Amino acid sequence: MNKTQNNKAWWLVVPVLILVAFNAFIPLMTVVNYAFQETFGDNVFFWEGTTWFEQVLRSGRFHDALIRQFLFTGMILAIEVPLGVGVALTMPRKGPWVSVCLVLMALPLLIPWNVVGAMWNIFALPDIGLLGYTLNSIGIDYNFTRQPFAAWMTTVVMDVWHWTSLIVLLCYAGLSSIPDDYYQAAHIDGASRWAIFRYIQLPKMKRVLTIAILLRFMDSFMIYTEPFVLTGGGPGNTTTFLSIDLVKIALGQFDLGPAAAMSLIYFLMVLLTCWAFYTIMMRNEEQ
């Protein structure tokens, strides 16, 4: 029997290839181009090898931004994950309040990043902002534009306010997939509240929680707009996270080579962490 040979169908893939080329491959390759070469404009390039990478990896400024970044991501994960799980556990499972709670929870997620930054900026202003004014009037000296600690706290609280809902909603979805039989069986087995959480709810939430943590890790590791609008990276450099620093180097100082090298390092870090995290979680799953 003769098989019909017709490869015309391959043409159908072309639109996807073009799309991927323009939104991922070509921009990435441009960055690679800048990372290994030096240019003085007019499209003239000189080969630099790994000079930019060495420069970035040795720079104290990069180390500081990286430490700040890990500190920030660690802090918000440490707050948002337990808080999100906790809120999801206390949300009603049946009745008219379910939709009310869900809408309230989803609300912060619908607000654009720069609006969140602007909101919190005004909210926290010491002289006219509700939060700033209240704190100062009850005797707490608070000024996030001058005090590094206040700036940090405001940024962290803002992120918690904006993104805890995501973890709540994902965990809630995981929780609602548990059949009533499990709870009834646990009652009959005499399980304590903690045992129910540990052996029923947590295992059932594990998958969604993995995804929630991954999403929050990536998002917070790449956070830019909110702290940029809120503090602009200040006071000094105290809230300059990696992406803010990157933009400062690329657009502020126009050091395209080091900025491109830093972009690639940054990109690889996010990719590597996600891969490692996912692999470890999935290996646990299989056992």
| Partner residues linked to 45 by β-bridges | 39
By beta-carbon proximity to another protein, the closer residue of 31 and 191 is: 191
By beta-carbon proximity to another protein, the closer residue of 42 and 286 is: 286
**CB of 210: closest distance to another protein in angstroms?**
14
**Which residues, 6+ apart, have CB-to-CB distance to 263 below 8 Å?**
31, 35, 246
By beta-carbon proximity to another protein, the closer residue of 8 and 94 is: 94
Q: Taking CB under 8 A as the rule, does residue 203 contact another protein?
A: yes
By beta-carbon proximity to another protein, the closer residue of 141 and 189 is: 189
What is the residue type of 204? K
Q: How far apart are the first and last CA of the chain?
A: 47
Q: How far is CA 82 from the centre of its chain?
A: 16
Residue pair 249/258 in contact by the 8 Å Cβ criterion: yes
Q: What's the CA gap between 75 and 220, in Å, rounded?
A: 10
Torsion sign across C-alpha atoms 105, 110, 114, 115: negative
**CB of 85: closest distance to another protein in angstroms?**
16
**CB of 83: closest distance to another protein in angstroms?**
23
Contact segment (CB under 8 A) with another protein among 57-65, 155-163, 178-186, 232-240 equals 178-186
The helix or strand, by DSSP H or E, that contains position 27, with its residue range, turns out to be: helix 26-36
Q: Taking CB under 8 A as the rule, does residue 189 contact another protein?
A: yes
By beta-carbon proximity to another protein, the closer residue of 101 and 186 is: 186
Residues that bind another protein (CB under 8 A): 179, 181-182, 184-185, 187-192, 195, 199-200, 203, 287
